[in-house]
Amino acid sequence: MQNQSLDIPLHDIKPLVEVSDNSLILFIVLVLVGAVLILGLAYLLFMFLKRRKKESRRKDAFAALQGVDFKDAKASAYAITAHGFIFADDSHRTKAAYEKLLNHLAPYKYKKEVNAIDEECRSYYEIYVGMIDV
């Protein structure tokens, strides 16, 4: 009887079929798309933080420019020059005003002993600070 059980034909089992395997290609594509998305988000975050830092730098420079103390003429001339440079390229008007201000501040910067800053130079300083948009 055992011989008969081995000779039973099997009708419900089909032969093996070759199945195409695209999982590696799909995985690589998903990894690349994910990497591009992550790099894009990192770039956008970097640009946002860079822009925010630039605006903060302008605000800090404007606050320092407004708070210049004219007691020490030499230090205030250097401070006005350094902080005013950030706003010089805003427009052609601010650039011209900054150059006039630099011309009036030049005698106070390069000498060992300087006098107090005169009223004409202070008025150019006030005009320049008034022109700045933060």
| Average model confidence (pLDDT) across the chain | 87
Q: How confident is the model at residue 3 (pLDDT cuts 50, 70, 90)?
A: low
Burial of residue 55 (CB within 10 Å: 0-12, 13-18, 19+) is exposed
Q: How confident is the model at residue 12 (pLDDT cuts 50, 70, 90)?
A: confident
Q: Is the pTM of this model over 0.75?
A: no
pLDDT tens profile 16-50:
888 888 899 999 999 999 999 999 999 999 999 88
pLDDT score of 53 more than 80: no
